[in-house]
A and B are shown apart, each in its own frame.
Chain A
Amino acid sequence: MNVGKSVARVDAFDKATGRAKYTDDLCDRRALVTRVVRSTIAHGYVKSVDVSAAEQVPGVVKIFTCFDVPDIKFPTAGHPWSVEEAHQDVADRRLLNRHVRYYGDDVAAVVAEDEVAAAQAAALVKVEYETLPFVLDVQEAMKDGAPQLHKDYPNNILKHSSIRMGNYAEAIREEGLICVDKWYNTPMVQHCHIENHVAYAYEESGKIVIVSSTQIPHIVRRTVGQALGIDWGRVRVIKPYIGGGFGNKQDTLYEPLAAWLSMQLGGRLVKIDIPREDTFVSNRVRHAIRFHMISWLRPDGSFVARKVECFSNQGAYASHGHSIVAKAMGSFPQLYPCDNFECDAYTVFTNRSVAGAMRGYGMPQASWAHECHIEDICKVLGVDSLQFRREHIMPVGYVDGFSKNENYYDSFNQCFDKAVAYIDYDRKHAEYANQTGDIRKGVGIAPFWYNTAVWPIALEHSSCRMVLNQDGSIQVQVGETEIGQGADTAYAQMAADVVGLKDYTDVHVISTQDTDVTPFGLGAYASRQTYVVGFSITQTGNILKEKILKYANELTRVAIANLDIIDSNIVRTTDGRVLMSLKELATTAFYSLAHSEHITAESTYHIKNNAYSFGCCCAEVTVDIPMCRVTIDKIINVHDCGKLINPQLAAAQVHGGMSMGIGYALSEQLLFDEKTGKPLNNNLLDYKLSSTMDHPHLEAQFVENPEPTSPFGTKALGEPPACPVAPAIRNAILNATGVAIDDAPMTPHILFKRFSEEGLINDPWRKEN
C-alpha cells in the first residue's frame, strides 16, 4: 500500500536542486517583453494616449493602446463554464481599457526587445484622462448618487442574495432576550505567491500557444478563445510547474493580452512578466468583507434568532464576483444552526483592485466574523465560550438541504479535544481571565466550516488517462494541476494502489498540463484535487486493471475472476501464486507477434457528491500592551480531512495555511490613498507578509474519520487551514486583555487605538491635548 504513507514528493528532487523548470525558465531568451502602462487615476476615461516619445526608445518594437484592442468583453473567473447563460460569469473585461476603473488599470502595452527598453518607454507614454469621481468603500458605493463603475449595476451592486429561515421578525419579539449586535471588518489582502504571474505566447501550426503560470490551463484556453473571439481549439495552453497560486492564478490574468500581442506581431514570441508591485494591484486580491451580525439569545444561551448582513468589496471588475460572499453566507446557518435566521449578502463594485479567488474563498472572512461574534456573545452571557461552541455547533447527523453534505462524525469535538490538550486550553483560559500588568497572556480557539469541491453549485468532474509502459510502470495524466500542494504525489500514491503497483515511483504523473494533450479537467481550486481525482483515478485504474487482467487471462488461461495485480505481479488469488510480473506481461503486450496491444485507459468521472471538512485552530499569545504587539507563543490547527493520503504533505499544507492565517490576523492589508485611490503599499516591504520570525512552531494534527463519499476516504485540506487562525488569535487577545478587536488585521495601529479606548494605555501628554 502506498496511500497513507509519508512518501517523498515526486517532484522533491527537481525542486530542491533547482532544476525544475517554471514558465520563465522555459521561455526563449529572445522573447519580446511587455510592460503594461497602468492608469494613474482611480476612475475615468482615457481621452488620448501619446506614444511618440516612447516609440523613440531604442529597442521598442510596438506600443498598443486601449484604442487598438478589439471591442470584446470576456469573463476571467476560473469557474467551469456554464451552458446556461444565467450561470455564466460576468463578462466585463477588455484586453486594455478606455474606461479605467482602478488605479493601475491596463491602458497600454509596450512591447520591446528587453526589459529596460520596455520600462523606459512605458514611463514615456503620456495618457490624457477625463477623471471621474471614485469610491473605495462598499457602503459609500451602495449609496444613491455614488460614482457608478458599470452601467448595468445600479448602486454598484453586482449581486444581492439572501437566506430566509423561520421568522426572524416574529421571533425577536419574545420577552427577555439578550441581543448582541456588532460589526466585524476584514482586510483586502493579496496571495503573495513567490512566482509572479508570467505568461508567454507564440503562434505555431495555425494555433496560438500560451505557456502560463496558471492553476487552470483548460479554463484559460476557453477564456482566451472568448477574449480574442477565436475558436477555442485554436488556443493551446501549457502549464509547467508553478511557484504558488493560492487562487490568484485561478483566474485569467494576462494570458489573453500575451496571446493578442503575439498575434499582432506575426506570431512572434511575446512574454508578459508582471512585476511584484503590479501583482499586488493588477492581479486579484481577497475580498474585504464587512459583516453586521445580530444574535438574539435567551439567558440560558439558546439561539432564538440571528441576522447577518455581508458587504463584499469586489473592486473594479466582476472576476469571481458574488460566489465568495455567497459561500461565506452559506456557512452561518450551517455552523451554528438557528431556526429563525436571515442573511443578506451584497457584492459591490468599488474603484479598488479586483477581488477574486483566494485560499479559503470567503471563509477566512466568515470565520473571522462568526467566531469573533460567538466569543462576544459568550462574554455578554458570561459563559465559557468553548463549552458554548460544543453545545451549539452543527450536531452530528446534520444534513445540508442544498449540498446534501452530512456531518457523519463528531469531528468538531474530536478536533477541539486535540487542540485543547496541546495548548492546555481549559486551564489557561481560566487562569488568564483577570490579569493585570503590561505583559499578559491569553488563549483562544475557533472552529471553521468548509466544503470540499464545488458540487452542486457548479460542474464537478475529473478525467484521467493511464498508459502502461513496457516495464510495468504507468503514466498518469489529469487536468487537476500541481501548484505546489503536492497533488502529483497524492495521485501517484492513489494510482499505485488502485492498479496494484508495488511502489508509487512506478507511477509517472505528467506534471505539465497541455490542453492539446491532457485530458479535460478544470484545474486546481476549491480544495478538490485529491477528492475529485480520487474518483477518476479509481475508475480509470480499474479499467486499466481489467484490460491487464484480460491480457493476463490470454497468457495464463486463469479466469479473470481469479486474477489480481498485487505488488506489480499478476497473482492467482485462489492460492496467492505469482504467475508473472506485470513487467513481463507489459513487455509481451507491447511486442507479442500473436496479440500486440498498447494497454491504456481513459475515462471521465462526473462527481455528484461533496463533503464537509472541519477543524479548528487554538492559539496562545503574549500581548505586550505598551508596545501594542502580539507574540504567538503556541499555535495548533486540527483538521478532520478524512483519511490522509500522505501525512507529511498534509502537515505541510496546514503549515502554509496557518502562516497565511497569521498574516491575516496580525499584519497583512493592502492600503489605498483615500484622496487618490492610489495603492500605498504594493510591495513586499510595506505590505507586511508575516516572516518566519513572526511564527512559532506550527503544530498540525489530524482526526482521520474516513469520508464515506470518497474512494480514499479523503476530503478538503488545501484551503481550510487558513480559515480559523485569525479569530483564534483574536480570541486569545481578548482572553489576555479583555479587549475585543473587531477589525482585522490586529496591527499595532489597531491595538494602540483599542487599548487607548479601553484605558489600557494612558498617555498623559495626549490627554492634555
Chain B
Amino acid sequence: MYDMKAYYESASVEDAIRLRIEHPEAHIIAGGSDVLVQMREGKRAGVELISIFMLDELRGVKLDEDGTLRIGSLTSFSHITKDPLIQKYINVLGEAVDQVGGPQIRNIGTIGGNTCNGVTSADSASTLHAWEAIVELTGKDGKRLVPIKDFYLKAKVVDIHPDEIQTAILIPKESYENTYGAYIKYAMRNALDIATNGCSVNVRLSADKKTFERVRVAYGVAGPIPMRAPNAEAFINGKEVTMENIEAFSQKVLEDINPRDSWRASKALRQHVAVESAKRCIIESVKRAGGAL
C-alpha cells in the first residue's frame, strides 16, 4: 500500500503540461522504479503523481531528418539495449543501460526517468555526458533544448520548468559519427547494484587510426552530478595512439574528478578505480574504432 495523495493519468503531452500547471506540487511518474521506491521509503510519502506512462508517442528511437538520434524519454532500458539504431550508432549507451538493476527494472525503467532523477550514479548519465546529449523539454510555449551538462543543476535537481516534461534525449550526428565508446560500471556486485564509479569514454581516431582526433570521457559518482574530465581530454586530443599516452591520460582524470569518501567506498578506492576504468575504457574504445595498441 502506497501513501499517495492523488494520481493523474496524462492522455497526451499537452495534457501532461496542463496537469503540471494545474497541480504544481505533483511529481511526475514514468516507469515508477524510482518514484515508488522513494514513496515506500517515505521520501515522497503523501505526494500527488502525474503519470506520463501511457504516452506511447514518447517511446522509441528514431533518426531525425538531420541525422540526429532521437530517444523518446519513455523508452525503456531494455528497449534501448535492443534497438538497432542504438546498436549501430551508440552501442555503448545500450551496454550502459543494460547494467541498470535487473531485467524487471530494465523493462519498466525509462531513460527519461533515469536522467530526470538528477543522480550522479545513473547508468545512462556518464555516457550521455560523454556523447554530449541534448535534452528536449516540452512546455506550454513549445520545445526547449538543453545540453545535458546544463540539464544537471546539482544533486537530484535538474533544469525542468514547472510547465515542462522531458520528451526526448537527442544525440547529434556530429557527436556519434565515426565515434566508438566503452563504459565500465564499477559496483560491488554484478547485478542489482548502483555504481560506485561509472566511466564512459569515446574516441574518434584519425583516418590512419594513429591519432586521437577527439576523446571524450565522463564519470558518474565522481562528484555530486555526472561530469566530464576536460583536463584529461585536452591532454590526449591530437596525441598519438600509444600506451604511454593512455596511461598519462588515465592519471590526468584525477585533476578533474572529485569523488567522495563515504562508508560505501573510500575516496582512494574511487580514485583508483576511476583511473583504471578510464584506461580500460579508452583501450576498448580504440579497439572498437579499429585502432591498434
Q: How far is the CA of A765 from the CA of B189 in the complex (A)?
A: 27
Residue of A nearest to B273 (CB): A627
Residues of chain B within 8 A of A120, CB atoms compared: 3, 45-46
- Are the CB atoms of B3 and A116 closer together than 8 Å? yes
Residue of B nearest to A123 (CB): B42
Residues of chain A within 8 A of B2, CB atoms compared: 116
Q: How far is the CA of A399 from the CA of B74 in the complex (A)?
A: 68
- Are the CB atoms of A685 and B192 closer together than 8 Å? yes
- Are the CB atoms of B186 and A693 closer together than 8 Å? no
Chain B CB within 8 A of A703 CB: no
- Are the CB atoms of A693 and B251 closer together than 8 Å? no
| A-contact bits for B254-273, CB 8 A (1 contact / 0 none) | 10000000011110110111
Residues of chain A within 8 A of B268, CB atoms compared: 752, 763, 766
Residues of chain B within 8 A of A115, CB atoms compared: 1
Residues of chain B within 8 A of A690, CB atoms compared: 189
User: Interface size of B by Cβ–Cβ distance < 8 Å?
Assistant: 29
- The distance from the CB of A569 to the nearest CB of chain B, in whole angstroms, is 51
Sample of 16 A–B contacts (CB below 8 Å): A114-B1, A115-B1, A120-B45, A120-B46, A123-B42, A626-B276, A627-B273, A628-B269, A667-B189, A673-B263, A686-B264, A691-B102, A691-B189, A752-B266, A752-B272, A765-B251
Residue of A nearest to B254 (CB): A765
| B-contact bits for A685-701, CB 8 A (1 contact / 0 none) | 11010111110000000
Chain A CB within 8 A of B191 CB: yes
Q: How far is the CA of A747 from the CA of B193 in the complex (A)?
A: 14
Q: How far is the CA of A680 from the CA of B45 in the complex (A)?
A: 22
Residues of chain A within 8 A of B264, CB atoms compared: 686
Residues of chain B within 8 A of A681, CB atoms compared: 263
Given A119, A627, A680, A749, which contacts B3 in the complex, CB threshold below 8 Å?
A119
Chain B CB within 8 A of A1 CB: no
Given B193, B269, B271, which contacts A765 in the complex, CB threshold below 8 Å?
B271
- Are the CB atoms of A688 and B188 closer together than 8 Å? yes
- Are the CB atoms of A685 and B191 closer together than 8 Å? no
- Are the CB atoms of A749 and B269 closer together than 8 Å? yes
| A-contact bits for B225-260, CB 8 A (1 contact / 0 none) | 000000000000000000000000001001000000
Given B45, B191, B271, which contacts A763 in the complex, CB threshold below 8 Å?
B271
A residues whose Cβ falls under 8 Å from a Cβ of B: 114-116, 119-120, 123, 626-628, 667, 671, 673, 680-681, 684-686, 688, 690-694, 747-749, 752, 761, 763-766
Q: How far is the CA of A690 from the CA of B189 in the complex (A)?
A: 7
Residues of chain B within 8 A of A691, CB atoms compared: 102, 189-192
- Are the CB atoms of A119 and B42 closer together than 8 Å? yes
Residues of chain A within 8 A of B275, CB atoms compared: 763
- The distance from the CB of B46 to the nearest CB of chain A, in whole angstroms, is 8
Q: How far is the CA of A749 from the CA of B42 in the complex (A)?
A: 31
- Are the CB atoms of A693 and B194 closer together than 8 Å? no
- Are the CB atoms of B190 and A694 closer together than 8 Å? yes
Q: How far is the CA of A115 from the CA of B2 in the complex (A)?
A: 8
Residues of chain A within 8 A of B188, CB atoms compared: 667, 688, 747-748
Q: When A and B form their complex, what is the total count of cross-chain residue pairs whose Cβ atoms lie within 8 Å?
A: 68
9 nearest A-B pairs in the assembled complex, by CB-CB distance: A693-B190, A693-B191, A691-B191, A115-B1, A116-B3, A626-B276, A688-B188, A752-B269, A694-B190
Q: How far is the CA of A115 from the CA of B42 in the complex (A)?
A: 12
Q: How far is the CA of A329 from the CA of B271 in the complex (A)?
A: 42
- The distance from the CB of A160 to the nearest CB of chain B, in whole angstroms, is 32
- The distance from the CB of A249 to the nearest CB of chain B, in whole angstroms, is 24
Residue of B nearest to A625 (CB): B276
Residues of chain B within 8 A of A765, CB atoms compared: 251, 254, 271
Q: How far is the CA of A749 from the CA of B263 in the complex (A)?
A: 10
- Are the CB atoms of B276 and A627 closer together than 8 Å? yes
- The distance from the CB of A269 to the nearest CB of chain B, in whole angstroms, is 17
- Are the CB atoms of B272 and A749 closer together than 8 Å? no
- The distance from the CB of B281 to the nearest CB of chain A, in whole angstroms, is 12
| A-contact bits for B178-196, CB 8 A (1 contact / 0 none) | 0000000010111111101
Given A667, A684, A688, A761, which contacts B272 in the complex, CB threshold below 8 Å?
A761
- The distance from the CB of A533 to the nearest CB of chain B, in whole angstroms, is 37
- The distance from the CB of B13 to the nearest CB of chain A, in whole angstroms, is 32
Residues of chain A within 8 A of B196, CB atoms compared: 748
Residues of chain B within 8 A of A116, CB atoms compared: 1-3
Residues of chain B within 8 A of A752, CB atoms compared: 266, 268-269, 272
Q: How far is the CA of A494 from the CA of B140 in the complex (A)?
A: 73
Residue of A nearest to B3 (CB): A116
Q: How far is the CA of A673 from the CA of B262 in the complex (A)?
A: 11
Residue of A nearest to B251 (CB): A765
- The distance from the CB of B24 to the nearest CB of chain A, in whole angstroms, is 23
Given B1, B102, B189, B194, which contacts A694 in the complex, CB threshold below 8 Å?
B189
Q: How far is the CA of A680 from the CA of B192 in the complex (A)?
A: 18
Residue of A nearest to B276 (CB): A626
Residue of B nearest to A766 (CB): B268
Residues of chain A within 8 A of B3, CB atoms compared: 116, 119-120
- Are the CB atoms of A688 and B271 closer together than 8 Å? no
Given A627, A693, A749, which contacts B189 in the complex, CB threshold below 8 Å?
A693
Residues of chain B within 8 A of A763, CB atoms compared: 268, 271-272, 275
- The distance from the CB of B229 to the nearest CB of chain A, in whole angstroms, is 15
Q: How far is the CA of A765 from the CA of B276 in the complex (A)?
A: 13
Residue of A nearest to B279 (CB): A626
Given A114, A627, A667, A747, which contacts B186 in the complex, CB threshold below 8 Å?
A627
Residues of chain B within 8 A of A761, CB atoms compared: 272
Q: How far is the CA of A761 from the CA of B196 in the complex (A)?
A: 19
Residues of chain A within 8 A of B42, CB atoms compared: 119, 123
Residues of chain A within 8 A of B193, CB atoms compared: 685, 688
Q: How far is the CA of A128 from the CA of B189 in the complex (A)?
A: 40
- The distance from the CB of B268 to the nearest CB of chain A, in whole angstroms, is 6
- The distance from the CB of A53 to the nearest CB of chain B, in whole angstroms, is 15
Residue of B nearest to A689 (CB): B189
Residues of chain B within 8 A of A694, CB atoms compared: 189-191
- Are the CB atoms of B194 and A685 closer together than 8 Å? yes
- Are the CB atoms of B276 and A749 closer together than 8 Å? no
- Are the CB atoms of B271 and A749 closer together than 8 Å? no
| A-contact bits for B192-219, CB 8 A (1 contact / 0 none) | 1110100000000000000000000000
Q: How far is the CA of A763 from the CA of B189 in the complex (A)?
A: 24
Residues of chain B within 8 A of A749, CB atoms compared: 265-266, 269
Q: How far is the CA of A749 from the CA of B266 in the complex (A)?
A: 8
- The distance from the CB of B160 to the nearest CB of chain A, in whole angstroms, is 26
- The distance from the CB of B172 to the nearest CB of chain A, in whole angstroms, is 33
Residues of chain A within 8 A of B1, CB atoms compared: 114-116
Residues of chain B within 8 A of A123, CB atoms compared: 42
Residue of A nearest to B265 (CB): A749
Residues of chain A within 8 A of B269, CB atoms compared: 628, 748-749, 752
- The distance from the CB of A142 to the nearest CB of chain B, in whole angstroms, is 25
Residue of A nearest to B192 (CB): A691
Q: How far is the CA of A747 from the CA of B263 in the complex (A)?
A: 13
Q: How far is the CA of A684 from the CA of B3 in the complex (A)?
A: 21
Q: How far is the CA of A4 from the CA of B42 in the complex (A)?
A: 52
Residues of chain A within 8 A of B276, CB atoms compared: 626-627
